[in-house]
Amino acid sequence: MIAYCLLDSPIGPLTLAADDSGLRVVGFPENRYLAKRDASWVAADHPILALACTQLGEYFASQRQRFELPLAPRGTPFQLEVWQALAEIPHGQTWSYGQLAGHLGRPQAMRAVGAANGRNPLPIVLPCHRVIGASGALTGFGGGLPTKRFLLELEGALPRQQDFLALG
């Protein structure tokens, strides 16, 4: 059984799913690769979901920089390697796809790293939003570029757009 719940957040309702092995999904309201809900998904209380909701609430209140949750993403060995590396990008910083590939010891695998990054089932918790283009441009993100910008601004990795407006 996979327990799931909806969490209200500043970026819209997030779908969280977990089983006894750990958190499996954090889904945005608009998500390019939605997790497939089937009969094994049940709207139910679960201690991992409760912990995830608490920690995500702290994150959105700027009171948490790292998540301490049991995680159970499902993917290929390469995807799992990329997703684990995302957790090593420090809060408030960004890496390019090339930096992430280099960190994995696969400097030529930027496209494969980008594809794995795009399939991350645990965004925010495994911070794929911290990966940007080599030029510094915000690039594709399953939750949409406005969400990516919001998360990076929240973490201080980008100046808030309203700060630019105040200067003009």
Instruction: Pick one of 3.30.460.80, 1.25.40.10, 3.30.200.20, 1.10.10.10 as the CATH number of 77-162.
Output: 1.10.10.10
% of the chain beyond a pLDDT of 70? 92
Which structure tokens are listed for 131?
């990966």
Which of 13-27, 32-46, 100-114 has the lowest average pLDDT?
32-46
Strands 14-19 and 2-7: antiparallel
Is a pLDDT exceeding 60 seen at residue 162? no
Cα–Cα distance measured from residue 86 to residue 127, given in angstroms and rounded to the nearest whole number: 6
Q: Shortest CA distance to 78 belongs to which of 33, 128, 112, 122?
A: 112
> Which member of 11, 49, 71, 128 is catalytic?
128
Q: Which amino acid is at 161?
A: Q
Q: In this predicted model, what pLDDT tens digit does every residue of 53-96 receive, in sequence order?
A: 999 999 999 999 999 999 999 999 999 999 999 999 999 999 99
Q: Active-site residue 5, yes or no?
A: no
Q: Which pLDDT score is estimated for 112?
A: 94
Q: In this predicted model, what pLDDT tens digit does every residue of 125-157 receive, in sequence order?
A: 999 999 999 888 898 888 889 999 999 999 999
Is a pLDDT exceeding 70 seen at residue 165? no
Cα–Cα distance measured from residue 104 to residue 85, given in angstroms and rounded to the nearest whole number: 7
